Chains A and B, each alone.
Chain A
């Protein structure tokens, strides 16, 4: 049996196992038969083992340069380096689908194994839901997008990985995004199970909370690294273009973020049960929608895979998911309704509600802007496109309001806030923020967005740091490191809360970085060796051209000297390369990053007389976006380092006491 047939046989067997798991798990929930549940889980475990085997087989074929497989021939070549040979697994449509299935399987099996003891009442149905998802993807792989399809005649060499994808960011960014997208399957399945079984107590989300945080964290870092890839590789000076596929990754992030916030209201006050279930169901549906969007050829984007029939198969699957999930929600609506109401507009609950309102409205705006061209074309036949200005104008103000809420929200008490304590706590941050805006106005900053963005940055940062300072002061130890000890005690004692604040600080830093866009400068022109130009406070000179060839590409490089105040501070070498395998030119940017600004050079052309066409950007504050991303990652680690909810006895006792104290 040849490799192609063997690989497909494994996928068929895995599909069969997932289907068996679906049937057994469903039956076990109906008949309350533990033996059937065990068989269902075992079938799912077998599916995981088989999908892992299929993925390893594909990796082995990539490394063995087995060009009899069409996929291997299209995404690798004899000269592809080991790292990029591995990343070829998720570079194309079939491989990325296999990889996506593998991750979903691993999440599904781990969730089933971990939760079977903790949530025996929910796990069979959740396992059935996860098996159904896995079976759908395996069905696609086995029958519609077979990664093990063979070609004949066997080409002597493969086409290799597209040079744009040969970047360390591209090696890691899709993996993180997929880990994020697929991870939401677990809370989705448990929310679904709680609707089916009618066990609508707190259970489903306390036990899947960490899964949600893990998925959300991967998605967040994945999105930020995607921006970094665009910035470093695509050579247009920016990091976010409101491209349909970028939007597709942002949608589940927005609703997932809303969920992580609003779930706290349910935990504390048993409110918003319907809303929370709807949010998490919607989040996974949006993740599936994103995969559909990238693979359907419905919209054009820098990311799309080639148009393929499997795109169309996502639509019915998505429709079934939406109808069944939200149908169940409607069915259980009465049982889910909370009998508690908002007590004051000036309370933590109300702040979270506004946070949710903004996040969901942003999600809707992004969805609308992304799909609007599709609607218009369907209705009138006109082909249109919606540009970044739309998203910036509509999302910008809402995002700023959201960042502002991150500053005020934590200062407002649950149930009913106290105006006096808020005034005391908000005074310093508000004055610093206002002061920043006044200073910027005096400096004649024209962009209102940047002015408010920077003002809010200062406001929220001060307010958040104030929370740390108050906490540390309350737990102050003996000198000389009293405050520091206090900080460690308070952060270590409530990692979820302070981890969350660290994430907020990360968001604030990203906001700072984005505000820099308003001060961006650009230059473009033609230079002969010896020519100079200036941009901002930099004097940039074109010293010489260098051209050489490697096995893979022809390199044309411009040696640029960068000077400031008469002193040479850097030498940048933007390149224009021609990759032989794909016959594709590619620019490598010249980049000098400092905390205050990035100097970004793109060589677009070099002629026979060594004259270069160059475009230069001075992008202020961009580095803070990546630093903010690192802060967010740190905050997530702090949150996840806390003990899982099952072991948090003290807090549940506190919660119990509160429940008794607050009459419903």
Chain B
């Protein structure tokens, strides 16, 4: 076998291995975005690795020590979220937020991370702040 053929073979093996790794780990590390309504109607408390997107209900943010509790709404259903994550600096009432985690009991979403949804992290609050 010529060295070029040997290299191509080795490259093929590496690429197939990586492709396999990509497919395998995509399955385990993708999270599905759901709305609170979809999540509540699905009602599968065991489901983990879910991202719920919604707006933080005004006045729902309660701090209990390191735990924060708030409600997320998509305009139809409100979902109670509890988290021990450090909340982003832009987290506040009425902000589009994504909570990642799963339903631990019916109606209670335990989030491992809470992100403030962009697309405009640096401009959204400016738009909100300027009359």
Contacts and interface: CB of A to CB of B under 8 A. Distances in A.
Contacts of B84: 524
Interface stretch (A79-87, A284-292, A342-350): A342-350
B114 to A, nearest CB: 11
Contacts of B4: 341-342
Contacts of B124: 306
A371 to B, nearest CB: 12
Contact of A605 (B29, B63, B129, B130): B63
A313 interface: no
A615 interface: yes
A354 B30 CA distance: 30
A345 B25 contact: no
A361 B29 contact: no
B98 to A, nearest CB: 8
Given A342-B4, A390-B29, A583-B129, A602 B86 contact: yes
Interface string B90-131: 101000000000000000000000000111111111110110
Contact of A587 (B33, B66, B89, B126): B89
Contacts of B123: 74, 92, 305-306
Interface in B75-92: 84, 86-87, 89-90, 92
Contact of A394 (B6, B22, B89): B22
A302 B14 CA distance: 33
Interface in A119-161: 155, 159
A604 interface: yes
A382 B29 contact: no
B86 A615 contact: yes
Interface string B23-38: 0011011111100000
B63 A385 contact: no
A645 interface: no
Contacts, number: 146
Contacts of B53: 383
Interface string B51-85: 10100000000010110000000000000000010
A303 to B, nearest CB: 8
B43 interface: no
B118 A301 contact: yes
A163 B65 CA distance: 26
B3 to A, nearest CB: 4
- Category for how many chain B residues contact A: 35 or more
A604 B126 contact: no
B46 interface: no
Contacts of A372: 26, 30
A386 B120 CA distance: 20
Contact of B26 (A390, A583, A585): A390
B93 to A, nearest CB: 12
A524 B28 CA distance: 27
A365 interface: yes
A209 to B, nearest CB: 25
Nearest to A416: B3
A163 to B, nearest CB: 8
A358 B11 CA distance: 9
A300 B123 CA distance: 13
B28 A604 contact: no
Contact of A297 (B3, B21, B119): B119
Interface string A241-278: 00000000000000000000000000000000000000
Contacts of B33: 382-385
Interface string A346-387: 010010011001100100010011001100000000111111
Contact of A165 (B18, B63, B120, B122): B122
Contacts of B125: 162, 582-584
A525 interface: yes
Given A300-B117, A304-B120, A343 B3 contact: yes
A353 B18 contact: no
Contact of A350 (B7, B120, B121, B127): B7
A604 B89 CA distance: 9
A391 B129 CA distance: 36
Interface in A597-631: 602, 604-605, 607, 613, 615
A309 interface: no
Interface string A154-187: 0100010011110000000000000000000000
B122 A305 contact: yes
Contacts of B126: 74, 159, 162, 582
Contacts of B22: 365, 368-369, 394
Contacts of A353: 7, 11
Interface in A372-414: 372-373, 382-390, 393-394, 397-398
Contacts of B18: 361, 365, 394, 398
A655 B123 CA distance: 56
B129 A306 contact: no
A21 interface: no
A63 interface: no
A385 B31 contact: yes
Given A164-B89, A604-B86, A394 B25 contact: yes
A586 interface: yes
A526 interface: yes
A525 B64 CA distance: 10
Contacts of A604: 86-87
A307 interface: yes
B77 to A, nearest CB: 17
Nearest to B22: A394
Given A159-B130, A236-B86, A387 B118 contact: no
B44 to A, nearest CB: 16
A163 B89 CA distance: 10
A8 B117 CA distance: 33
Contacts of A200: none
Contact of B66 (A301, A361, A384, A524): A524
Given A390-B29, A393-B25, A615-B86, A526 B66 contact: yes
Contacts of B87: 604
A300 B122 CA distance: 12
A159 B129 CA distance: 8
Contacts of B29: 386-390, 393
Contacts of A607: 63
Interface string A61-86: 00000000000011000000000000
B2 interface: yes
B102 to A, nearest CB: 14
B21 A394 contact: yes
B120 A307 contact: yes
A318 interface: no
A581 interface: yes
Contacts of B66: 524-526, 613, 615
14 contacts: A74-B130, A92-B123, A155-B130, A162-B125, A164-B122, A297-B120, A305-B120, A306-B120, A342-B2, A383-B32, A389-B25, A397-B21, A525-B66, A581-B129
A-B CB proximity, top 4 nearest = A383-B33, A306-B120, A390-B29, A300-B118
Interface of B: 2-4, 6-7, 10-11, 14-15, 18, 21-22, 25-26, 28-33, 51, 53, 63, 65-66, 84, 86-87, 89-90, 92, 117-127, 129-130
